[in-house]
């Protein structure tokens, strides 16, 4: 059972995943689309931040911008996996499999971009991260369908997972590039689950709480009098 990270760190990790993908998007679109990139992306790519970053990378011998800014998106997949582990656990085995697919998408992305040259030994893997995103969306729908109906998983969580594929497709279209644009939407889905989704460790902690403590933790107004229920002599 995944109990790490804590809820606040899970939310931070999910937003970091979306933010990182957005940060990588302008220079990646500049390489891929050139003048055809969206105007906002071109404007951001021309900022001193990206010019300085490219200069530093080139000075280190990393001159393939498409490879560098593309493969770096793998970090977003890893952060999403880290953020959603506790939230996927209540879904059972299907939720754990979804986590493994998300995590596996990180090395798949690196291999895809590393083999983008036509003469690369594994050139057939170029673009494989697109199939990984499709697998995430399709399997998320399957997880929503087979999720426990015993109250373990709220309806809104099942509906959110079922909407993962449309969110991935929609954010890809909105930002004009995958996987970076796709990961922005996926990261936001992860942030919602991380912030408000059920966590098995929290439910388990409540079940293990001594009976006498439950009333004390019931919320404002709950009695803390140790003599409750006793009659005065």
Q: What is the pLDDT along the chain (233 residues), one digit of tens a residue?
A: 578 999 999 999 999 999 999 999 999 999 999 999 999 999 999 999 999 999 999 999 999 999 999 999 999 999 999 999 999 999 999 999 999 999 999 999 999 999 999 999 999 999 999 999 999 999 999 999 999 888 889 999 999 999 999 999 999 999 999 999 999 999 999 999 999 999 877 754 443 333 443 434 444 444 444 344 444 44
- CB-based contact 136:98 (threshold 8 Å): yes
The answer to whether residue 184 is domain-embedded is: yes
Nearest to 70 by CA among 176, 177, 185, 191: 177
Residue 151: predicted pLDDT:
82
Residue 1: predicted pLDDT:
57
The answer to whether residue 215 is domain-embedded is: no
Cα dihedral angle (204, 7, 81, 182), rounded to 10 degrees?
Answer: 130
For residue 196, give Cα distances in angstroms to 10, 29, 203. 11, 33, 13
Number of domains comprising the chain: 1
DSSP secondary structure string for all residues of 67-127: HHHHHTTHHHHHHHHHHHHHHHGGGTHHHHHHHHHHHHHHHHHHHHHHT-STT-TTGGGTT
Residue 147: predicted pLDDT:
92
Q: Phi first, then psi: give them for residue 232, nearest 5 degrees.
A: -70, 140
Q: Phi first, then psi: give them for residue 181, nearest 5 degrees.
A: -60, -40
Exposure on the CB side of residue 37, measured as CA atoms within 13 A: 20
The answer to whether residue 30 is domain-embedded is: yes
The answer to whether residue 73 is domain-embedded is: yes
The answer to whether residue 20 is domain-embedded is: yes
The answer to whether residue 177 is domain-embedded is: yes
Alpha carbon distance 89, 153 (integer Å) = 10
The answer to whether residue 87 is domain-embedded is: yes
The answer to whether residue 169 is domain-embedded is: yes
Domain range for 67: 7-202
pTM of the model: 0.86
């Amino acid at each position: 059972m995944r109990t790490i990270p804590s809820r606040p760190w899970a939310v931070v990790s999910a937003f970091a995943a979306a933010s990182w993908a957005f940060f990588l998007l302008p220079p990646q679109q500049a390489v891929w689309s050139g003048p055809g990139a969206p105007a906002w992306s071109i404007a951001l790519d021309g900022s001193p931040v990206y010019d300085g970053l490219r200069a530093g990378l080139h000075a280190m011998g990393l001159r393939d911008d498409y490879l560098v800014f593309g493969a770096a998106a793998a970090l977003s997949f890893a952060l999403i996996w880290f953020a959603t582990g506790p939230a996927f656990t209540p879904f059972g085995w299907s939720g754990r499999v979804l986590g493994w697919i998300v995590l596996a998408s990180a090395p798949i992305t690196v291999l895809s971009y590393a083999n983008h040259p036509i003469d690369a030994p594994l050139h057939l893997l170029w673009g494989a991260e697109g199939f990984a995103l499709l697998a995430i969306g399709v399997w998320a729908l399957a997880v929503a369908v087979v999720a426990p109906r015993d109250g373990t998983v709220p309806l809104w969580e099942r509906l959110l997972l079922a909407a993962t594929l449309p969110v991935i497709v929609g954010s890809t279209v909105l930002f004009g590039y995958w996987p970076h644009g796709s990961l922005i939407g996926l990261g936001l889905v992860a942030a919602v689950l991380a912030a408000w989704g059920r966590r098995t460790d929290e439910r388990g902690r409540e079940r293990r709480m001594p009976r006498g403590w439950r009333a004390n933790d019931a919320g404002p107004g709950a009695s803390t009098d140790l003599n409750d229920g006793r009659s005065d002599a």
